[in-house]
Amino acid sequence: MNLIVFSHSDYSFLLPVIEDYIKKIPQLNPVFVCNKNNVNNKPAGFCKYIEYNDELCYAQRWIVDILPNIESKYILVIHDVAVILNCDINKIHNIVNIIDKHKIDRCCMNVFDGVEIIHDSNIYLCNLNNSVRSLTYTPYDVSPAIWNKSSYLKLWNMFPNETYRNCEQNSNLQQYCRTLKFYGLQKTKDKIYYCLSRPYYELFKVLHITTKGEITFPIEVYMDTIQEFKEIVKKYNLNDKIKINHNYAYVLGCDKF
């Protein structure tokens, strides 16, 4: 399996953050993906670097430039604005084994509350296409997820003109994904960590540090990741590099499990 960090030069201020967390998880064979540019240095710690044509839409970047250069059967896709705070390598590998065993197309790393459960290797997954309670778009969203690479390629071949901003709200795309085997982490008694109302477990804890290129305030919207947010902003002087948007108080009223 490869962990794929999808990035863009517009977010180059996050490269030192990415470099620091990626060196802790070399076992995931990380691949750094970014648009072709002559400005920024690539972050160290990756086993491979892939460039995409910035003039292509999001789907075409995957079809033409990225996936043909990935040999692994499974990929964990995450975007640069989602900072990995903790990652349990063994549990990630267990999830990949479950995906392979049950021929699952995608496993979202968010927490859900479903009724059709797979329990294996002390991991609980739920079917996102069967009476599931979700705090994100379902069955598809851009949250971190482990994909069967072939299924991911088929998705973008079905919707070759799709953009990053619109894909979650494309009803035809969502309907297509309902024909696939989409799973997510099932809610258990384990502690859930929220960030901008997105639920994660300690096994893959994520800080969504910006939204649309902006830091989101009030700071309370970072919820269970406030302390890590403060530490990262201070360490990398991000307040001087990123605009702050103070209009995200509505997030505090979102549901939780």
Are residues 146 and 106 in contact, defined by beta-carbon separation less than 8 angstroms?
A: yes
The per-residue pLDDT for 150 is 98
Are residues 67 and 149 in contact, defined by beta-carbon separation less than 8 angstroms?
A: yes
pTM confidence score: 0.97
- Containing structural domain, residue 90: 2-253
The per-residue pLDDT for 125 is 98
The per-residue pLDDT for 38 is 64
As given in the structure block, the two tokens for residue 257 are: 């499990």
Total structural domains in the chain? 1
The per-residue pLDDT for 39 is 65
The per-residue pLDDT for 40 is 67
Provide the residue-wise pLDDT of the chain in tens; the chain has 257 residues.
999 999 999 999 999 999 999 999 999 999 999 999 866 679 999 999 999 999 999 999 999 999 999 999 999 999 999 999 999 999 999 999 999 999 999 999 999 999 999 999 999 999 999 999 999 899 999 999 999 999 999 999 999 999 999 999 999 999 999 999 999 999 999 999 999 999 999 999 999 999 999 999 999 999 999 999 999 999 999 999 999 999 999 999 999 99
The per-residue pLDDT for 130 is 94
Phi/psi at 76 (5° precision): -105, 110
At 166, which CATH number?
3.90.550
The per-residue pLDDT for 41 is 79
